Structure 1
Amino acid sequence: MENRTTVQEFTLEGFPAVQHLGRLLFSVHLLAYLASMTGNVVIVSVVCTSAHLKTPMYFFLGIFSFFECCFTSAVIPKLLAIFLLGKQTISFVACFIQAFIFVFIGAFGFLLIAVMSVDRCVAICKPLHYHTIMNLRTCTLLIMACLTMTFTLITWVVGKVSRLSFCGPHVIPHFFCDIGPLIHLSCSDTRAAETLAFSLAFLIILSSLIITIIAYSSIVVTIVRLPSAKERQKAFSTCSSHLIVLSLMYGSCVFIYVKTKQTSRLESNREAALVNTVVTPLLNPVIYTLRNKQVHRALRETVCRIKISR
């Protein structure tokens, strides 16, 4: 750290306008957090134990749900402490660790969504070659490539921001440590850090979006060419849940990160971030399992095995 960094801890502002409703908000967010964790843990468990879900689609879904658990756990416990106990302080090191975990998992989620889009594209457009193309080795290499690239890029940007000087205001106008608000608090020249953060956010979101658009364009063309309406409906139903998750993730994150000036609209960022960290992880298990007959079957079999073991 540079010598001019004198701030030893930050204060998370949270939601001061509704802080008087702390106990009520604590209860609501605790229930949402527990429901989100339960839903995602169930998906991970079913994917790992069910013989019917040993396909690339569910392999990626299990990884996605696992990282959703990590994603919410990096942010929500501190928010609960703010609501219930008013503990708004966080140490300098802990703040940057939280920022790294949050941005790393978020960026990996976008790349994973792009990989899942490619998986659906191959499954629908090349059904006869699907298991040859998307074998276990290919899936593992795709995940490792996403993790390596994300870790390298996010370590670079968080390291750059951590080397800025923090000697003035220490109140973060947010409910967790994020890159944008931290850059805004620095008392040194932040133009290079802002440019880097914006460029990487733009690169990750845009690249994953382009891959997703190309994949789903191919899917739409293939679905339209299917001879029967029943086949078209079945093909589209396998992608509908994925499209809903896509719209939630891209909508909230584009609003937060793809802005040239991180100092703008910090207030509205909190609401968008709340959607990204609470609402989306809560809805994902419901969206992915509501219309999925294979997951329903696997859940029933798991429940039956538990009853028999008792």
Structure 2
Amino acid sequence: MRIHPEVADALTARRPVVALESAIISHGLPRPDNLRIAREIEAAVRSGGAVPATIAIVGGEPHIGLDDTSLQRIAESDTVVKVSVRDAAVLAARGGDGATTVASTAHFAAAAGITVLATGGLGGVHRGARDSWDESADLMTLSRTGVLVVCAGVKSILDVAATLERLETLNIAVIGYRTDWFPGFYLADSGHRVGWRVDTPEQAADVLRARRRLGTDGYGLVLANPIAAEDEMDRTLHDQVLAAGLAAAEASGVRGKDLTPFLLDFFHRETRGASVAANIALVLSNARLAAEVAVADAAGG
């Protein structure tokens, strides 16, 4: 791995670092705004007092922290592929460029010694998984990767109830941040309760330190941070677009890994950009919170 000097210095000095996925840059946000937003996400981490470490594979080599040239390459190149853990070795052997998902970001972050990761929405169990077995690799990876993922729940296009069941089965604890309800990505409340809650970054950091004492830090941890009320989508519009998007995907035969980008693009078009605005708002919020948790964890030793 190639660790950016600023990130390496922070890790050596035990200063707070937050890992950031890059798939949202290359595949989750529209061009040309994606590069600007990527820089804003890193700035949000800095505003919270931590060092950002955007992770990607560049020229076959995992990079923990990107300089601006590499960040621009990931944001603008048409040859960047979305890479999960299973794809990393093949892409590295071929010398390609890859934008990391939550799963691969968590893998490389843990290998570098980074404990806190910020993203938009966690992957999960897809609707109809009883027949398709379609489940994000994020879940299995987190079951054996000891990072805390700050997210706005799972994408609302997924089966939220089934995802929560899988998280429980895989020993991945879910904690609501200032909420007793699991967020619904574009919506603050998915309608499903969470079993645990913290109300400050310091309380979240206490959990991280308790995990280390108890030896349960080999498992991932989800800190579910709901989108702010002023930023969430209108629920009626959300439900209408989701139903129409699922029907369009079924009619077009879109399945597997192609389903999520299809539905996100459908949301973007049909909501006239409202979904993208919500996505940006929640990612920036998660980045700030992740930084505050990393700072509190570093301060506690």
TM-score using structure 1 length: 0.25
Question: Comparing both structures, which one devotes a greater share of its residues to helix?
Answer: 1
Question: Comparing both structures, which one devotes a greater share of its residues to strand?
Answer: 2
- Of structures 1 and 2, the one with the larger relative CO (CA 8 A, separation 6+) is 1
Which structure's CA Rg is the greater one?
1
TM-score using structure 2 length: 0.25
